[in-house]
Structure 1
Amino acid sequence: MLIHLFKYEIKSIFRQLLPFYAALILFALLEKVFYIMQMPTIMSFTALFHVLIIAAVMVFTLVVITRRFYSNFFSNEGYLTFTLPVKTWELIISKLIAALLFAFTGMLLTFATVFFLFVTINPDLLAGVQFPFSTITPDDMLNLTTHFAAFIYGTLMYDATAILIIYASVSIGHLSREHSIFCAFAAFFGLFIFGQIFSFILGANYYVTSLLLCGIFFIITNYILSHRLNLA
């Protein structure tokens, strides 16, 4: 059942974000076309739209993730969600994994389109770069792999913390049925400040504090959904 929930979540989010992904690729290609045609004025406009779409992808990804979480748990759809033969924490995990996947996909696609433009429009950037693969030692490969793994892990932890703080804020906000939106925003700022103070006091490694904060936000969300949820 958990696999089916995950697949359903992936399909639902992908349908909403696909137009933004397509627009991101389209305007990157248009920039390249207008560069080849030597039309700098039009190219500058497409570059502006490209930047705006990058921002839209980041913002709308968070909007979709938040809206999916709210509609699945706190709207009329919540009655159906909680009749499924899965535990609450499994529902949260399935949504978190799907959200992380698309947050990372948006970042990767943004980097790919920008890198494509820099390399194709400004080939001189790589003209003087040498890639002495034959001289790379096993220690160099190990260091490179370690840094890359640390980057991926750090990005995922940052995204997970951001997503879980949204989940916790929406859950706290729903405890007040009359002022749920205001309380959700207040909860977000409160949890954000708490996270900063927590990180400062703990003074540990970023990855450790992020993992602990993810656990705290997850516990808050799971507790509210399991014990304090009122859909009446």
Structure 2
Amino acid sequence: MLGKLFKYEWRSFWKVPAAINVFLLIITLIGAISLISPFWELNFEIMDTLMVFAIMFYYLAIMAGAIAVAVYIAIRFYKNVYTDEGYLTHTLPVAPRDIIFSKLFVSVIWSIITGIVICISVFFILFAAMKDYINTDEFVTVWQELQRDVLPVVEEAFGMNLFVFALFVILIMIVNTFFSIFMTYSAISLGQMFTKHKVAGAVIWYVAEYVIVQFGSSMLMNIPLLGLISEPYAAAAMTPSDVGAMVKLMLIGSVILSIIIGALLYLLTEYMMRRRLNLD
């Protein structure tokens, strides 16, 4: 049944985020063509001002696209589960966890797609902006110098090679995507306890969750640093590999903490749907 719910959710969900991502790609194409063109080489005083506005517009467009996808995820969950559509959703012969996970997987996939599109967009814009400074021979030389001088230092500092580090960063991003969506779902579910202004209640709960999670995780992750501050001699004697080991430990701790809190938020969302359902 979860597979059928996933297919239905995908068909109902994909159009809006796809349109947002197409918009981001169009903005990227226009920006890259503009940067490659000789337009910016014109010797007018206003050109610097136009460039600043163009950069601001591009930044705002990228941010708006990312925020729009996140907002759409929240709106769709709210409408499908806690409004009049919720009466139909909850008459289906499925468990609340199937409803949650079908929506979660689709939301995570489109969040990752949007993140990839944004990364591609930034890469092409930077590449177009630096076209006059890019030389194939110089690029190869710089890359060889990085491999020889910089990468070994980075690998020693983090105690892992660059490929493993990149995989670890990707894992963190995926875990954080699941975590942020669970925060949204749980806040919306808790917001239904308000008799009126349920949307405002969901926003309040989201802000409260965000503050609590950020404060609690910061306190836990800073415990190793507090130990170093209390023992300055030990901190001064640390080698780069010791620092790398501590950073790696903090990153792993961050992933584990996100998984634990995300699981708790999921259980809270399922409990609210199963025991405290309050439809409009």
TM superposition score category, shorter chain reference: 0.7 to 0.9
Aligned twin of 1:65: 73
CA distance in 2, matches of 1:43, 1:8: 44
**Residue 199 of structure 1, aligned match among 213, 217, 222:** 217
Q: How much does 1:181 deviate?
A: 2.4
Aligned amino acid, residue 56 of structure 1: A
Report the CA distance shift for 1:194/1:218 in structure 2 as closer, same or farther (over 3 A). Answer: same
**Residue 214 of structure 1, aligned match among 259, 262, 277:** 262
Aligned amino acid, residue 13 of structure 1: F
Contact 1:27-1:46 at 8 Å conserved across structures: no
**Residue 100 of structure 1, aligned match among 83, 108, 127:** 108
Contact 1:70-1:170 at 8 Å conserved across structures: yes
Aligned twin of 2:199: 181
Matches within 5 A, 1:120-199: 120-123=128-131, 124-125=133-134, 127-128=138-139, 129-130=142-143, 143-199=161-217
CA distance in 2, matches of 1:213, 1:52: 31
Q: How much does 1:95 deviate?
A: 1.2
SS of the residue corresponding to residue 8 of structure 1 reads helix
Q: How much does 1:160 deviate?
A: 1.6
Report the TM-score when normalising by structure 1: 0.86
Q: How much does 1:12 deviate?
A: 2.6
SS of the residue corresponding to residue 175 of structure 1 reads coil
Report the CA distance shift for 1:97/1:178 in structure 2 as closer, same or farther (over 3 A). Answer: same
Aligned amino acid, residue 196 of structure 2: E
Q: How much does 1:218 deviate?
A: 0.6
CA distance in 2, matches of 1:30, 1:197: 41
CA distance in 2, matches of 1:198, 1:158: 16
Percentage of pairs with the same residue: 26
Which shows bigger deviation, 102-111 or 200-209?
A: 200-209
Q: Which runs of 5+ in 2 are unaligned?
A: 41-46, 222-249
Report the CA distance shift for 1:44/1:23 in structure 2 as closer, same or farther (over 3 A). Answer: farther
Q: How much does 1:43 deviate?
A: 6.8
**Residue 273 of structure 2, aligned match among 217, 221, 225:** 225
Contact 1:27-1:49 at 8 Å conserved across structures: no
Matches within 5 A, 1:72-83: 72-83=80-91
Give CA-to-partner distance per residue, 1:112-141, whole Å, 9 cap, x none.
Answer: 011012223314357333369xx99xxx9x
CA distance in 2, matches of 1:160, 1:226: 21
Q: Which runs of 5+ in 1 are unaligned?
A: none
Report the TM-score when normalising by structure 2: 0.72
Q: How much does 1:197 deviate?
A: 4.2
Aligned twin of 1:54: 62
SS of the residue corresponding to residue 38 of structure 2 reads coil
SS of the residue corresponding to residue 130 of structure 1 reads helix
Aligned twin of 1:85: 93
Q: How much does 1:102 deviate?
A: 1.3
CA distance in 2, matches of 1:82, 1:185: 24
Aligned amino acid, residue 214 of structure 2: Q
1:23 aligns with 2:71: no
CA distance in 2, matches of 1:71, 1:198: 31
Output the aligned Cα RMSD. 2.6
CA distance in 1, matches of 2:219, 2:123: 39
In the alignment of these two chains, the number of paired residues is 227
Contact 1:202-1:209 at 8 Å conserved across structures: no
